[in-house]
Amino acid sequence: MTLTDSHQPKTSGAATKPAVFVDGASGTTGLGIQERLRLQNDVVVKSIAEDKRKDAGAKRALMEEVDLVILCLPDDAAKETVALIDSMGASAPKVLDASTAFRVASDWTYGFPELTPDQADKIKAARKVANPGCYPTGGIALLRPLVDAGLLQADYPVTINAVSGYSGGGKTMIASFEDGSAPSFELYGLGFEHKHLPETQLYSKLTRRPIFVPSVGNYRQGMLVSVPLHLDTLSGKPGGADLHAVLAKRYAGSSYVSVMPLENAATKGGRLEPEALNETNKLELYVFASEKHRQAVLVARLDNLGKGASGAAVQNMRLMLGLAEQ
């Protein structure tokens, strides 16, 4: 993507490197983004003094100097900063928000580039992009292609089960696991109001609200998202190979999403662990199926801090700034 005259990088010197400001870089997502940005030499990262972090005037002045702001803030703080950006008119930077504040907003672009064949182009052209949640990344990646292909009815009673490392739970949860006061494993979100449900339903194109049962284990990072299915209740009563073919076609040629071979799934011995993709921006999709019992389990494996958060943010940042894929 070639930057137009109205969107030329605001930095000078090494000539055309775009400038980025990460607002709220002390949490796990912000720290992960900063670490990834340190490994790149084609962007300039600007920061604000700690004592000016909540100074709206100082923040506005800095944002006028950058091409893109990445927000790693709580929802209310993100909304306040977006309102400030909206007030900047022509000098406003692009914005990539990592909170849940705008993920289902109609005037924001959803930052899952693999969502549809043209989603990456939409992100490139967008001024405002909402970074996806970690659990929805896995769930949507499994479900959306099947709904689009007509194999999974939009009103199918979907159940999504997932487990994540504790790093996705915020400072209090992280502290409880690291000081030994947390249980080894627990289910949560049992009030049916998990904040990731709206985006999961919307971008999977489901008309029936799915049941989502998340859990957390006593390990730092890594995630499995699974969807059990009764094959004879699906449209056309497909086999596991049919589900696999749809997923493989959707993600063919993707740099970050891999649909693992059926024979690979069969040789896993009925086991799959969550940490294999840690520190990457990769997402692996599996189809485990039994034609004998006419049942299947779809599984997504990812790093909740990688493709589920910081890795995805940097991928979206590069699309929004017209930089080459890494």
Q: Report CA torsion sign: 126, 24, 175, 280.
A: positive
Place of tokens 């693999």: 114
Annotated active-site residue in 78, 120, 123, 134? 134
Whole-number Å distance between alpha carbons of 164 and 282:
16
Whole-number Å distance between alpha carbons of 26 and 54:
14
Three-state DSSP class for residue 172: helix
Distances (CA, A) of 316 to 34, 255, 256: 14, 13, 12
Three-state DSSP class for residue 319: helix
Our answer to whether residue 72 is catalytic in this structure is no
Whole-number Å distance between alpha carbons of 252 and 144:
15
Three-state DSSP class for residue 206: coil
**Polymer length in residues for the chain:** 326
What lies within 8 Å, CB to CB, of 45 at 6+ separation is 19, 20, 21, 22, 34, 37, 38
Whole-number Å distance between alpha carbons of 29 and 308:
9
For the annotated catalytic residues, the residue numbers are 134
